[in-house]
Amino acid sequence: MKTTATASRQRTSVRSSRSQRTQGQAYGGNGHEKEHNGHPSVSPGLAAWLAKPKHNLIAGKWVSAANGKTFDVLNPADGSVIAHVPDSQSEDINRAVTAARKAFESGPWRQLTPSERGKIIWRIGDLILKNAEELAELESVDNGKPRAVAKVADVPLAADLFHYMAGWATKIEGNTIPISVPYAPGARFHAFTTREPVGVVGQIIPWNFPLLMVAWKLGPALATGNCVVLKPAEQTPLSALRFGELLLEAGVPEGVVNIVTGFGETAGAALAAHDGVDKIAFTGSTEVGKIIVRAAAGNLKKVSLELGGKSPNILFKDVPDLNAAIDGAASAIFFNHGQCCCAGSRLLVEKDIFDDVVSGVAERAKKIKLGPGLDAGTEMGPLVSEEQLNRVTRYMNQGKQDGACFVTGGSRQGDQGYFVQPTVITDTDPSMSIVREEIFGPVVVAQPFTKPEEMLPAANNSEYGLAAAVWTKDIAKAHRIAAELRAGTVWINCYNIFDAALPFGGYKQSGWGREMGHEVLNQYTQTKAVVIGL
């Protein structure tokens, strides 16, 4: 490393405990490909990449933080240090914003034709696929998720997003508008609109899908011709940095995308408040979303937010196939270890099949094989951090104190890494925090209902409104319920179906605006009306 200073972490007890837990050194590429704690370690290629010093990407160059400090990145499967990344502060954000502004105003980016821009974005998608193995492995050691899952979900979805957005670069169109102008009788005008990039965009992303969130954010920003400063999550900065290398390889001009690692309270806050930033796009907790909105007020930058959820998953007794619905309910909450903003964390089940569904989901929960993400047999990895482990176990302990029934799970698994047992809870009431608040772990609360009239208010009884699902054979009922659910996505007889073409985002406190689809392009462009007197 150029700099060895480690970030001082006096701000939170979590961070100080994190530095105390630090065991061993970052991967040195010298023997780390051997088994580690009886589990397969990273491949030699990734070990070599991890061993290289990590820097911010600013103006097309890899640079240390201005203060020279770094912080540790941990493998959540065992708490070992796998890399050190810049602990960036407001000075680094300043430099990145300046680079983005310069690239936006006077760099070659603006001069590219839409077709040339589209081709670069397409190449980014190709490069993701070309490096799929390495990216999946990196995502696994950084976030904890099984490598096999990252390989079939996160990585191809990220590539597909860029391929989808590449096509939009040539289709950002305005309108020709016939105007009447009643106070200018007889005068004639030619009026039209254009859609222009917003300018410099700050993007702050979370740790649950580190690479995919980079794609969701950068794809539309680049398709519409913006320049970006991106801050990845402190827990999972590595795939964004590797991705920066791929951006340069794809031919993205210098300064168009700047990647700055650091903590939310310092680097993130500086970006959200920066007067040189025209728009901030944030994904994360509702709590921090509100901080972002307040920080954006200084220069009234545009804001888009993709926040939390407590999504209802509703099973009627006339499900098309009970086994498939139980599989769906289990995967709705256990996919990505429950660390999904749209996780089906509230299971609402018609009374007649309640016992079967609860025992079915619990049986599936018990069979899930927990282990390090790099183990071939692992179905569920650790939570991302000790902070999340503590948060999830705190919720479960509160649920126990409140008198809920834990059908299965309810505790941490083992004492190494941040593993939590897949958990199914019944006998709750709507006032309990486990029913109301986003736990962001593999923990589902199941509640029975008898009539749709009583189920719907319960389903909508949340400050969140990100997603919901309905399982029934009755297509008319499915449509009626879908129309009544206050959620940005409703799945019918399926769950967790995403596509680059499908808009995703929240009602209520789950967010502002939409990710993906053509709707997201509106958030990265502004409309200019041009009127020509004839």
Interaction residues for ligand NAP, span 69-128 (CB under 6 A): none
User: Could you tell me the two tokens for 117?
Assistant: 């821009």
Out of 75, 89, 224, 283, the only residue in the binding site for ligand NAP (CB under 6 A) is 283
The answer to whether the CB of 201 falls within 8 A of the CB of 214 is: no
Catalytically annotated residue among 234, 306, 387, 515: 306
| Strands 464-465 and 200-204, sheet pairing | unpaired
Catalytically annotated residue among 340, 341, 438, 515: 341
Confirm whether 341 is a catalytic residue: yes
Q: Sign of dihedral through CA atoms 381, 382, 388, 392? A: positive
Cα–Cα nearest to 383, from 455, 442, 306: 442
Q: Give the whole-angstrom CA distance, residue 160 versus residue 162.
A: 5
Stated as kind and residue range, the H or E segment containing 481 is: helix 475-484
Question: Shortest Cβ distance from residue 149 to ligand NAP (Å)?
Answer: 17
| HEC sequence for 219-274 | HHHHHCCCEEEEECCCCCCHHHHHHHHHHHHHCCCCCCEEECCCCHHHHHHHHHHC
Nearest 10 degrees: Cα torsion 147, 161, 495, 491: 170
308 contributes a contact to ligand NAP by CB under 6 A:
yes
Question: Which window, 83-91, 132-140, 200-208, 324-332, contacts ligand NAP (CB under 6 A)?
Answer: 200-208
Question: Shortest Cβ distance from residue 458 to ligand NAP (Å)?
Answer: 21
DSSP output for 488-507: SEEEES--S---TTS-B--E
H-type helices in 82-149, by residue range? 90-106, 114-130, 132-143, 147-149
User: Could you tell me the two tokens for 418?
Assistant: 């941040």
Nearer to ligand NAP, 43 or 67 (CB): 67
User: Could you tell me the two tokens for 17?
Assistant: 């405990």
User: Could you tell me the two tokens for 13?
Assistant: 């007890």
288 contributes a contact to ligand NAP by CB under 6 A:
yes
Q: From residue 227 to residue 246, what is the string marking binding to ligand NAP with x (rule CB under 6 A)?
A: ----x-xx------------
Question: Shortest Cβ distance from residue 207 to ligand NAP (Å)?
Answer: 6
Question: Shortest Cβ distance from residue 154 to ligand NAP (Å)?
Answer: 13
Q: Which residue is nearest to ligand NAP (CB)?
A: 264
Out of 97, 204, 303, 424, the only residue in the binding site for ligand NAP (CB under 6 A) is 204
Question: Shortest Cβ distance from residue 1 to ligand NAP (Å)?
Answer: 21
DSSP output for 24-67: S-S--SSSTTS-BTTB----HHHHHHHHS---EEETTEEE--TT
Question: Which window, 162-170, 239-247, 301-309, 479-487, contacts ligand NAP (CB under 6 A)?
Answer: 301-309
Out of 27, 109, 263, 507, the only residue in the binding site for ligand NAP (CB under 6 A) is 263
Nearer to ligand NAP, 291 or 446 (CB): 291
Stated as kind and residue range, the H or E segment containing 530 is: strand 525-533
440 contributes a contact to ligand NAP by CB under 6 A:
yes
Q: Is 458 helix (H, G, I), strand (E, B) or coil?
A: helix
Nearer to ligand NAP, 105 or 499 (CB): 499
Residues contacting residue 171 through CB under 8 Å, at least 6 positions apart: none
Question: Shortest Cβ distance from residue 490 to ligand NAP (Å)?
Answer: 18
DSSP character at residue 513: S
Residues contacting residue 483 through CB under 8 Å, at least 6 positions apart: none
Nearer to ligand NAP, 323 or 433 (CB): 433
Nearer to ligand NAP, 228 or 269 (CB): 269
Out of 285, 359, 408, 460, the only residue in the binding site for ligand NAP (CB under 6 A) is 285
Nearer to ligand NAP, 52 or 391 (CB): 391
Applying CB under 6 A, the site for ligand NAP has a residue count of 27
Confirm whether 306 is a catalytic residue: yes
Question: Shortest Cβ distance from residue 487 to ligand NAP (Å)?
Answer: 14
Question: Shortest Cβ distance from residue 281 to ligand NAP (Å)?
Answer: 11
- Match 């070309």 to its residue by tokens: 130
Residues with a catalytic annotation lie at 306, 341
Where on the chain is the footprint of ligand NAP (CB under 6 A)?
Answer: 204-208, 231, 233-234, 263-265, 268-269, 272, 283-285, 288, 291-292, 306-308, 341, 391, 438, 440
